[in-house]
Amino acid sequence: MMLLEHDAKTLLQSAGVHCPEGWLAAADGFKLSERASFPVAVKAQVPVGGRGKAGGIRICHDAAEVKGALTDILGMEIKGHTVGACRIEQAVDGNEHYMALKLVPDRGQVCCLYSRAGGIEIESNADALGSAFAAYEPGAVKAAFETLFSGADEFAAKALVASSGSLVDAFFVNELMLLEINPLMIDADGGWTAADAKVVVDLNALPRQDAIRDMIEVRPGTYPEAEVKLKQGFDFVILSEDADIGLITTGAGLSMQVADELAARGHDVFNFCDMRTGGFRGNPDRLIYVLREIAARPTVKATLVNIFAGITHLGEFSAVLLDALKQVPEFKLPIVARLVGNGEEEGMALLSAAPHSMHFERDLDRAMDMVVAISEGRAA
């Protein structure tokens, strides 16, 4: 999950990373701190890149410009995200550099990236980007960065080594998946500042990461997917607000496969979810949440339930699903159910007796064809 820049910098500052002083503004009536001095940057807080090119970052030289920038930026749409808050921070000068650390899980390594050509045009300066892989260990990553800095002059190298050391420490302490600083500013005195920060956190690390968990709990509306993970214990991600098919699925890989294959049939799905049915313990709360989310989307015409059970008993799953349907009376969509595995006969028997529009298909391809036909208004 990508943090908003304000939260990312708050997290990094607590780990010793130099960031500009900044304040969060959620309304144009915001009063700038007395500690602030102009110029300041007003920056849209959305979890995507490209804010500057979209008009979501403004340099302001007085209070009137700040007010105007907030009026223009708050409520703006940037790559499908509505701007609900802005970070106002001290503008910084210096030479722009680029630095990033990225976890590569399949290699058990960290990819280290560095360029002396930072800024919003970094993509067009790919030839200047150096990279190195290092073992998942702070010392190894710091050494990899020092190798990348070998061509820098002595003045810049000192700041680069210091900044990369702080960033590596922050990366490991917070168990991050991505930490990107663009630009990293190095001033004439050899000081360095993370002028912008992109941070992707590992939601599976939340039980150990109190600071990140607190950010989610303070602003749950900002991080709805993380809140579900934190409170409900499963993964639910909205993929398309305009889709016509909802999913109730378990198994991250299988759920992604279903979403991809339905997309290949010309139908985007509303959501991804990995229900983790083994954790139900007879409690319908997870299913109630998903049913309510799907029912609230007027474009959704049908729902595919795809459960491939191992430890989970499908009779137990079906009983919990029926309980959830009773508690979400607004969910009236037809369901195509594919139940395969432990207890499938009992599960199918229970759902067959349900007072709901149910269609059953054991074969996955045919089940997907069926839910597509229903969503298009054709006979199943």
What pLDDT is recorded for position 30?
Answer: 77
27 touches 68 (CB < 8 A): no
Q: What is the pLDDT of residues 157-196, one digit of tens each?
A: 899 999 999 999 999 999 999 999 999 999 988 899 999 9
Check whether the bond before 224 is cis (ω within 30° of 0).
no
Residue 80 — very low, low, confident or very high, per pLDDT cuts 50/70/90?
Answer: confident
Question: What 3-state DSSP class applies to 316?
Answer: helix
Q: In the predicted model, is pLDDT for residue 122 greater than 70?
A: no
- Tell me the β-bridge partners of 194: 184
Q: What is the pLDDT of residues 343-365, one digit of tens each?
A: 999 999 999 988 889 999 999 99
pTM recorded for the entire structure: 0.78
Mean pLDDT of the chain: 91
Q: How far, in Å, CA of 339 to CA of 343, rounded? A: 9
Q: In the predicted model, is pLDDT for residue 120 greater than 70?
A: no
The CA angle 97-101-103, to the nearest 5 degrees, is: 160
What pLDDT is recorded for position 126?
Answer: 56
Q: How far, in Å, CA of 337 to CA of 371, rounded? A: 9
* Of 252, 110, 98, nearest in space to 181 by CA: 98
Q: How far, in Å, CA of 320 to CA of 62, rounded? A: 59
Report all structural domains of the chain as residue ranges with CATH numbers, in order of start.
Answer: 21-90 (3.30.1490.20), 95-207 (3.30.470.20), 233-375 (3.40.50.261)
Could you give the C-alpha distances from 134 to 107, 144, 158, in angstroms and in order?
10, 6, 21
Q: What is the pLDDT of residues 125-148, one digit of tens each?
A: 655 688 999 999 999 999 999 999
- The first and second tokens of residue 47, run together, are 């979890």
Q: What is the pLDDT of residues 362-371, one digit of tens each?
A: 999 999 999 9
Other Cβ atoms less than 10 A from the Cβ of 292: the count is: 14
Rounded to an integer, the average pLDDT of 98-112 is 95
